[in-house]
Amino acid sequence: MTHRRQFLKGVAALSSLSLASCGWRLGDVRGYSATKGPRDQLYIYTWEQYTDKELFKTFNAQTGIKALADVFDSNETMLSKFQAGGGGAYSVIYPSDYMVRKMVNLGLLTELNHERLIGLNNLFPRFQNPIYDPNNRHSLPFSWGTTGFIYNCEKLETPPEDWNYLWQNQEQLSKRMTLMNDVREVMGAVLRMLGYSYNSKDENQIKQAYEKLKVLKPELAAFTTDAWRNQILAGDLLLAMCYSSDAVKISKENPKLKYVIPKSGSSLWTDAIVIPKTAPNIEGAYALMNLILRPEVAAETSQRLSLSTPNRAAFEQLPKKVQNNSSLFPPESILSKCERIAPLGQIEEVYERYWTELTSG
């Protein structure tokens, strides 16, 4: 998922909850390793939306470890930094599902010791053996969601139902709609609209998607995954392609902004937590994972950040109003039409070539 958030640094310190309930004692995670560096700090590389100061405060209170977060704006930015040797300070990273698989294939991730994790059985079955990381060997699911449209229901009398709405209403939407700055999401959505897979490896199909987007481009305000938020709240945009979690958050600020998952299908994504092989503070990384697995913590995080939790025990603690929010927890009839974005190997170069042609100039 590209350009998902902006750059920022978060530093955290204090809160409540007992150490024992997390399954960790202070002695397990504090101190100093001569070869690995200080263990009273945990450097995290994540999306802006996940720099949760309340969670970091609780973590600090329980472990004595201060969490410090740097933010990346895309999976590709994060991977590039690691491959260039710039990720050695981080003990925890939050890649998306397809990037987990890519990082496993590149040999960048530590295989998780499930005996050190408390509460894996709290996860919904679909998250206990995900296709991108069988049996969660290298990752812990943190959040999940879909991709769709957020739109102003007061100004658009006919609500969008599918991707083709953009082309059918391009005159009304001209310069007042945005698509994500994300090659796989945008190309995948149009491929899906044309009846193909998000993960098509057929160059002719990819070209068809590009040609459709080329027609629409003059009517777009921008390709952006972040800037639409303030613009749609200000009334400058009528519609934006976005992630469900972002839409739910924004709709709380303005109830006239509604989220819809296109009926022909969309992407289904999971953001996960992993430990890189270069992690300086593995003990702290496991401590954070165990805190996040706790049902009451996961439920609070879900509500605070407007996230769909993969934790079934946490879901059961959510208020009925949240459980019944179909933007956060869509029915199976919708999820069955959604696809996960998968690594595509060399054909990704074809996607990138068309994307560069589309977005440049």
pLDDT tens string 255-283: 999 999 999 999 999 999 999 999 999 99
Which among 219, 249, 300 is positioned nearest to 54, based on CA atoms?
300
Q: What are phi and psi of 309, to 5 degrees?
A: -85, 140
Pair 190, 335 in one domain:
yes
In a shared domain, residues 208 and 341: yes
Classify residue 281: in a domain, yes or no.
Answer: yes
305 lies in a domain?
no
Q: Are residues 220 and 96 in the same domain?
A: no
Which residues does 187 contact at the CB level (< 8 Å), separation at least 6?
A: 206, 209, 210, 213, 351, 354, 355
Which of 59, 58, 129, 144 shows the shortest CA–CA distance to 94? 144
For residue 101, the enclosing domain spans: 9-139+274-293
Mark whether 40 and 159 lie in a shared domain: no
Report yes or no on 314 lying in a domain: no
Distances (CA, A) of 5 to 81, 238, 351: 16, 21, 22
Domain presence at residue 157: yes
Q: Is residue 165 part of a domain?
A: yes
Domain identity same for 341 and 200: yes
Asked if the structure places residue 115 within a domain, the reply is: yes
Same domain, 341 and 203: yes
CA distances 122 to 45, 298, 315, Å, are: 25, 11, 10
pLDDT at position 195 over 80? yes
pLDDT tens track for 73-106: 788 889 999 999 999 999 999 999 999 999 999 9
Distance CA 303, CA 309 (A): 9
Asked if residue 100 and residue 172 are part of one domain, the reply reads: no
In a domain, residue 318? The reply is no
Q: Is the domain of 228 the same as that of 352? A: yes
In this structure, are 341 and 202 located in the same domain? yes
Residues 71 and 134 grouped into a single domain: yes
Does the structure show a pLDDT above 50 at 4?
A: no
Q: How far apart are CA 307 and CA 271, in angstroms?
A: 11
Residue 26 has pLDDT above 90, yes or no: no
Query: Ramachandran region of residue 131, left (φ > 0), alpha (ψ -120 to 50) or beta?
Result: alpha
**For range 216-239, the mean pLDDT:** 95
CA-based nearest residue to 44, from 96, 87, 107, 99: 87
Query: For position 222, which CATH number holds?
Result: 3.40.190.10
Instruction: Calculate the CA 50 to chain-centre distance.
Output: 9
- 325 occurs within a structural domain: no
Distance CA 60, CA 40 (A): 9
Q: Are residues 26 and 56 in the same domain?
A: yes
Same domain (yes/no): 259, 168: yes
Whether the predicted model's global pTM rises above the 0.85 cut: no
Residue 28 has pLDDT above 60, yes or no: no
Total tally of structural domains belonging to the chain: 2
